[in-house]
């Protein structure tokens, strides 16, 4: 169904053009616009499906490197500044320990955060704020994308990370979603050795958190200090 809908729309537009709409410039423009939008959607869908099957076949070419988490957050803010301002969303960074490093594949991590930030902006209501923050607690690194958007009813949360699952089909179709984003987030986060959590209150907002184990934390002085603090300084001489 998800693949058939855009294909049917493209075929219908092309057939209408063939059977005469081409000679009406206004109508022709509309149909060409439709072909362009629907083929873009089809392209995104196919890319997402390919990504999912690569993850499932464990054919991801993961190349772990030490990533400066606060630098990564700033990078994500740059990437999404324009789409946030277009939707009137206030996008900012929250607390993040300086020098916190995470050993992970950068492309995968960016893809995870992109999907979460994209959702927070896409489903924003008026005056929504989106905040990216990070912490190191009990040896675990957490990166959170918190929004003050519409929130998600509790009954949807258990199925939210399933492929093609959307809370509001009508609304999701309007904003062009296919329901693969969070499924990719879950699979990629787990492929990196972490896991993803969601907390949401309707009318208040949602927070998606990806959490990675201590082994992946970098050895900056601050990170080490924070870790030994949490361990009660037990391994100090
Ligand atoms: P895609 O990401 O594939 O373009 P999508 O955004 O519809 O499509 P997911 O990212 O998997 O799919 O999200 C699933 C559903 O969860 C969305 O359709 C939306 O209803 C809901 N959702 C996700 N993030 C948020 C959020 N931050 N606030 C409110 N609802 C959300
Ligand atoms: Mg999405």
pLDDT in tens, 7-55: 999 999 999 999 998 899 999 999 999 999 999 999 999 999 998 998 8
Indicate if ligand 1 lies below 6 Å from the C-beta of 109.
no
User: Ligand 2 centre from 218 Cα, in Å?
Assistant: 30
Q: Does the pLDDT value for residue 228 go beyond 70?
A: no
The number of the ligand nearest the C-alpha atom of 123 reads 1
**Burial environment of residue 93 by CB neighbours within 10 A (0 to 12, 13 to 18, 19 or more):** middle
Q: Where are the alpha helices (DSSP H) in 123-231?
A: 169-174, 181-191, 221-230
Overall average pLDDT of the 132-148 stretch: 93
Decide whether any atom of ligand 1 lies within 6 Å of the 51 Cβ: no
The predicted structure's pLDDT at residue 59 = 81
Q: What tens digit of pLDDT does each residue of 84-123 get?
A: 999 999 999 999 988 889 999 999 999 999 999 999 999 9
Kindly report the average pLDDT of the chain as a whole number. 88
Residue 120 Cβ < 6 Å to ligand 1: yes
How many A from CA of 4 to the centre of ligand 1?
Answer: 20
pTM: 0.84
Asked if pLDDT for residue 223 goes beyond 80, the answer is: no
């Amino acid at each position: 169904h998800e693949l058939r809908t855009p294909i049917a729309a493209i075929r219908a537009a092309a057939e209408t053009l063939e059977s005469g709409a081409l000679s009406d410039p206004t109508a022709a423009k509309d149909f060409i616009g439709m072909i362009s939008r629907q083929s873009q959607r089809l392209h995104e869908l196919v890319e997402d499906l390919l990504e999912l099957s690569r993850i499932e076949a464990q054919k991801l070419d993961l190349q772990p490197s030490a990533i400066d988490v606060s630098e990564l957050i700033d990078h994500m803010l740059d990437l999404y500044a324009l789409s946030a301002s277009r939707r009137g969303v206030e996008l900012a960074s929250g607390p993040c320990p300086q020098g916190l490093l995470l050993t992970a594949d950068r492309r995968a991590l960016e893809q995870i955060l992109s999907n979460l930030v994209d959702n927070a902006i896409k489903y924003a209501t008026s005056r929504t704020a989106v905040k990216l923050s990070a912490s190191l607690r009990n040896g675990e690194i957490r990166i959170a994308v918190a929004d003050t958007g519409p929130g998600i009813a509790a009954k949807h949360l258990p199925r939210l990370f399933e492929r093609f699952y959307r809370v509001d089909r009508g609304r999701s179709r309007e904003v062009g979603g296919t329901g693969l984003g969070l499924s990719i987030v879950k699979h990629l986060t787990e492929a990196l050795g972490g896991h993803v959590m969601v907390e949401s209150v309707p009318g208040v907002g949602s927070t998606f958190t990806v959490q990675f184990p201590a082994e992946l934390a970098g050895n900056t002085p601050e990170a080490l200090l924070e870790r030994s603090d949490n361990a009660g300084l037990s391994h100090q001489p």
